[in-house]
Structure 1
Amino acid sequence: MTSRNCILQLIRTRMASRQAMQRLLKASGANITFEMLQIMSCLWSEQGISQQTLAMRTAKDKACLTSLMLHLERKGYVCRREDPKDRRNKLVYLTEEGEAFHQWIAPLLAAYYKRLEDILGKDKIAQTEELLKDLQHAIETY
């Protein structure tokens, strides 16, 4: 497999992953998009982070992140508060509704990832993760 084919397969895999998650979200009645889920997932592991940090961790540009934040705020899942250390920055937090959504969706997501693990096996998943990290590093140092 050439490097080009490897990158193309990576892109196809990302698209397939996004589509599968979108189907899961739709079938469960979650009423959020894959992109919104990415933001929520970041906040489940760390709250009170800046929008800039969220943008970096989710690979979203500023305009896209702003739109996603507005949608999540309208749903009542997140709120933005002024950073006491720098008033120009907004820090993002989950609301009680956002926490409740997390508790509701967590078992569905766990089942999704468990199924992938059952199909591929833990060793293959770990191997793939390491290879993807190596590929990312090679691309970033180009």
Structure 2
Amino acid sequence: MTKQGTEFRNLQLVIVRARMAFRRYIQRTLKEHGFGITFEMLQVISCLWRDQGIAQQTLAERIVKDKASLSNLLNNLERKGYISRKEDAADRRNKLVYLTPEGEALWQRLLPIFDEVYTRAEEAMGLARIRNLTAELEEMHNILENA
């Protein structure tokens, strides 16, 4: 007989371990190709490539970082010349974040490498398994959000 909640605890541990393995895999790829950025920096660049000029708070929510961590990341990316922050004309307390031309050029160099990384991962896991896991995790998210 198992203690109540044990299976859910195990599931949570497996999810955390899978996320850590994914992060290490991406970090190794970045290092192997000499990009000089971290996994977290990649998250910011990727988010900004999809949606330029977003507020720092929105960016923090999308990449699941607190304000202090995001601020440090943005400072580092700004020093590297990959992003810029501009005052929001509608609300001067907010800063909007943009990729610079250098940041966009970096993203263009990253794209083919990560397309290959994701293609290899898809081939190794199989599309049916990925779709099933995605559906199950989305359902779990919805259940927990509405609990």
Q: TM-score, normalised by structure 2?
A: 0.93
Q: What's the CA shift string for 1:43-66, capped at 9, x where partnerless?
A: 111101000000000000000000
Q: Which amino acid aligns with 1:50?
A: A
Percent sequence identity over matched residues? 50
Query: Which runs of structure 1 show a deviation greater than 4 angstroms over 4 or more consecutive aligned residues?
Result: none
Pairing partner for 2:13 from 8, 12, 17: 8
Aligned residue for 1:84? 89
1:74 matched to 2:79: yes
Q: TM-score, normalised by structure 1?
A: 0.97
Structure 1 Cα separation of the partners of residues 138 and 111 of structure 2: 26
Q: Which moved more, 1:126-135 or 1:5-14?
A: 126-135
Give the match's secondary structure for 2:52.
coil
Aligned residue for 1:114? 119
Give ranges in structure 2 of 5+ residues lacking alignment.
1-5
CA-based RMSD of the aligned residues comes to 1.0
Q: What's the CA shift string for 1:89-136, capped at 9, x where partnerless?
A: 000000000000011010011011001111112221111111111112
Pairing partner for 1:45 from 35, 43, 50: 50
Please say which structure displays the higher CA radius of gyration: 2
Q: Which amino acid aligns with 1:71?
A: N
1:20 matched to 2:58: no
Give ranges in structure 1 of 5+ residues lacking alignment.
none
Deviation at 1:141, TM superposition (A): 2.6
1:99 matched to 2:109: no
Q: Which moved more, 1:121-130 or 1:92-101?
A: 121-130
Q: Which amino acid aligns with 1:87?
A: R
Q: What's the CA shift string for 1:12-48, capped at 9, x where partnerless?
A: 0000000111100100101000011111110111101
Structure 2 Cα separation of the partners of residues 30 and 136 of structure 1: 33
Give aligned pairs, total: 142
1:62 matched to 2:77: no
Q: Which moved more, 1:115-124 or 1:69-78?
A: 115-124
